[in-house]
Structure 1
Amino acid sequence: MKRKVLVTYGVAVAAVALLTACSNSSPSSSSSATPSGSAAAGADPFATPNKATKSPIVVGLVNLEAGPITAPGYRTAAEAAASYVNDYLGGVGGHPIKIESCVTDGQPATSQRCANQLLDKKPVFILGGADVGGAGAYPAWTRANLAVVGAVPLTPVEQTYKNGVIFSAISGPDNAAAVSYASQKGGKSASVVYTSDAAGTHSGELFQQFFKNTGYTTVKAVPVAPTAADLSAQAAQVVTAKSDTVAVNTPVGCGSMLKTLDQLGFKGTKVVIDPCADPKVIAAAGAGAEGMIWGGPFDPPGASADSTLMAAVIKKYQPATAPITASYMGFQAVMNAQKYLSPISDKLTTESIVGAFQAGSNNANFAAHPFTCDGKQIPGAPSICNGYQHIFQYSKGATTTVGDWVNPAPAMGG
């Protein structure tokens, strides 16, 4: 019997994944979420200015930008999207978007202080950010009865917020989708290599459950100490177990593990987490990176009209923004808000905002798979409206997408 898995992401693992660049890829299928009032696909997006001239729509944003791990790209990409919307798309029904942001450091107390400061700005809704300390901010959003549009769903507070709508997901669905893809290739026995700290152990347990939910009959846990420099013993366990699939869930030691597996003759399917796709990690892995697969929620740059537009807008307004998944999520949230809230721009309430996204199904989602906000897309995470992932594969020096979008829900117990 399949067990439903609540996506309670390991904080350290998820945050590291946020800092990893999405890899370039060949074009793939997508559902383009053409913004309201935008130019035709392929046209110069900056050819015809269309300034928003009505009263501004204030939105609040708490984002992780201080401390050892940060994701400033969510805010800067969202700001780039807002500038484009305000300058070229006529804003949200004529109203410019004004983002009021507050920087947090991952501590709930800091996020709570940010939330209270932002409430003084009278936001119409909250633009969900990347914040592992969200448990401090969300009680404030609840008290004020505010909708949260978008977010990087790192913790249960984002995933289960009553008035939240999240358009893409990582650090759980991406790994589940990659496991689902591996199972379709006939995999039956797996080893899960994971860092044995609290976050890594939790993430490793999720990986093991994903394999079991997709029909793997043998799943071996292979813990790695956080300080381990030599991973040969763990790699040898994978080879000795004769696993046909390995999941490498070691953000710090990924390159070393892949390289050692190759040296020991492992020939099976290699499922990796997003940090393993970093070019520096691929270089360290050498031949061990060949054929590895992982999941990602966005069309890569150049693969669709949306992703092409996003790259151009970020380059124009916020060129220092890192091309990472968190950045794309910030941009996506603003573009979806512009598209779906423009028709109701003069009567924005929490109920009308949430209702605009909950209406219909398979709704166009900027640079990503269509979304359906029915609370059923990801087991245990009703705020997430779409968990579908592309499968990326590194082979012969290039990264490409393979197949169509993959639904991670079955691997997660849905």
Structure 2
Amino acid sequence: MNRFGRSAVLTGAAFVALVAAIAASATTAKPDRSTAPTAGAAVTNYVSYVHGKRGKADPKKSKVYIGWVNQQGGQVVIGGLATVGAQLAVRYVNDVLGGVRGHPVALVQCFIKSNEEEGTTCGQKLVNDKRISVIATGAVATGAQSLFATVRGRKPIVTGVAVTPVDGASKNAVVLFGDGPHILLPFGNYAKNVLHAKTAAVIYPNAPGIAEAGQVIAAGLKAAGIDTKQVGYTQGQSDLTAPLTAVGATTADFIAPYGSAADCANQAKSLQQLGITDSRKIMTAPLCLNSTVIDALGDWSKWTYAIASSLYGDKSDKGMPAYEAVINRYKAQKNAPDPWHIVAFSELLTTVRFLNEAGAKNVARITPARVLARAKAFKGPLALGAPKLQCGKYKDAPAICNDMFQAFTYLGKFQWKRASGWIGPLGG
């Protein structure tokens, strides 16, 4: 058990207290001036980024192992393509970036399907494997608390986007792209300073990890002084016209539908039925940029998306060509746009960077402590991510390294328009 209580996902008073504490600092802050539609610093060369050497890893040398945990294979899957992104990064590292000091990299994988206890199983497996000096995770909600409780800081954990606050609370972890309580708060900054909104409506399903994120969005909007209504509905509910009407979506200046890919499709259909189609004032997270939505609607919804990573195909992002080159090399276009694929690909490249730094003189010198030290010292820019990082900025969430996103409006047929530059919470 940790300080968040028994559940791996904050609920009730504990969650409300956390969000209120984070949002409170924004209530009297000056407006963030980073909303201009320009991109930030970018990583354009992966060889130099990972401190590698161009060429194949030597198959005759001993392997360097990275533990990998993702929630997949069960009924609830948040980032199923995270594993594919991680695997692609490892393949590319071994084929082109010289592995870790010439040694091939290998993933030791463990998946959580549906039970909290499976986090314990994965933690035991990876902690007891002496070959592993660092553990990377994908989208883990169920089992996150058990995983961290089992690892107990004996090995550092690198996360792309944290689904629960457990990751961010760990002193022996880094969360490169941030978590919900921090990267969703800037919704308020965007609504206030880009749209000049006075009223807002937030809607989300009552599902673990999803409802809490929706509450964070609402908290950020309220902290910005915006009159905000919010409603959670039964998970799996398809007709959402009633809850949308109840939350005032038909007259709100800003609307934030939040949910999984399946939720996104239902939300879009109901918004269209109500005649709510202004793409600039409807903002969500990149969970909706999924093939499931295309299957249901024929295309992604023409909304604005808050993205804490790079956007696939963004021509204003100088770091995108490097990623696209890898995608083309391995013919991975189908998975390339998925945000979890992008995040995990970057996460594994960055983990390899930490390993190269820790084993600069000899891979035998790679230890969990040395890897953690390199991770904590990393200031960015992050490959396919924020132009700068500040791990340890938040005392109650020392592992969180980023609290910014950039906004894009989807025009249809895979065409985008930048709606803001990198933007953080008010006063951030």
Post-superposition Cα deviations, 1:42-70, rounded to whole Å, max 9, x if no partner, equal xxxx9x63434643222211222221133
From 332, 341, 345, give the equivalent of 1:327. Answer: 341
Asked if 1:66 is matched to 2:73, the reply is yes
In 2: Cα distance, 1:89 partner to 1:238 partner: 51
8 Å CA contact retained: 1:150, 1:329: no
Which residue of 1 is the match for residue 129 of structure 2? 121
Asked if 1:299 is matched to 2:310, the reply is yes
Which residue of 1 is the match for residue 33 of structure 2? none
From 156, 160, 172, give the equivalent of 2:169. Answer: 160
In 2: Cα distance, 1:229 partner to 1:308 partner: 38
Aligned residue pairs: how many? 380
In 2: Cα distance, 1:349 partner to 1:392 partner: 40
Q: CA deviation at 1:388?
A: 1.9
8 Å CA contact retained: 1:106, 1:131: no
Q: CA deviation at 1:78?
A: 1.7
| One-letter code aligned to 2:282 | K
Post-superposition Cα deviations, 1:190-247, rounded to whole Å, max 9, x if no partner, equal 122233456554333222211111221x212334343544333333335588422222
From 72, 75, 84, give the equivalent of 1:76. Answer: 84
8 Å CA contact retained: 1:28, 1:299: no
Cα RMSD after superposing both structures: 3.6
Which residue of 2 is the match for residue 365 of structure 1? 382
Gap regions ≥5 residues in structure 2: 1-18, 24-36
Q: CA deviation at 1:288?
A: 12
Gap regions ≥5 residues in structure 1: 7-25, 40-45
Which residue of 1 is the match for residue 370 of structure 2? 352
Which residue of 1 is the match for residue 15 of structure 2? none
From 270, 273, 277, give the equivalent of 2:282. Answer: 270
From 190, 196, 203, give the equivalent of 1:186. Answer: 196
In 1: Cα distance, 2:257 partner to 2:133 partner: 42
8 Å CA contact retained: 1:35, 1:338: no
From 51, 58, 62, give the equivalent of 1:55. Answer: 62
CA 1:231/1:300 → structure 2, altered by over 3 Å: closer, same or farther? closer
CA 1:152/1:29 → structure 2, altered by over 3 Å: closer, same or farther? closer
CA 1:301/1:225 → structure 2, altered by over 3 Å: closer, same or farther? closer
In 2: Cα distance, 1:277 partner to 1:237 partner: 26
Q: TM-score, normalised by structure 2?
A: 0.75
In 2: Cα distance, 1:253 partner to 1:372 partner: 31
CA 1:153/1:318 → structure 2, altered by over 3 Å: closer, same or farther? farther
Which residue of 1 is the match for residue 326 of structure 2? 313
In 1: Cα distance, 2:237 partner to 2:85 partner: 36
In 1: Cα distance, 2:69 partner to 2:412 partner: 41
Asked if 1:147 is matched to 2:166, the reply is no
Q: TM-score, normalised by structure 1?
A: 0.78
8 Å CA contact retained: 2:174, 2:401: yes
In 1: Cα distance, 2:244 partner to 2:318 partner: 42
In 1: Cα distance, 2:419 partner to 2:117 partner: 43
Q: CA deviation at 1:389?
A: 1.2
Q: CA deviation at 1:76?
A: 2.6
CA 1:349/1:207 → structure 2, altered by over 3 Å: closer, same or farther? same
Post-superposition Cα deviations, 1:305-338, rounded to whole Å, max 9, x if no partner, equal 5433334435545848733222222211221123
CA 1:153/1:360 → structure 2, altered by over 3 Å: closer, same or farther? closer
From 82, 94, 100, give the equivalent of 1:92. Answer: 100
Which residue of 1 is the match for residue 7 of structure 2? none
Which residue of 1 is the match for residue 220 of structure 2? 210
Which residue of 2 is the match for residue 43 of structure 1? none
Which residue of 1 is the match for residue 397 of structure 2? 381
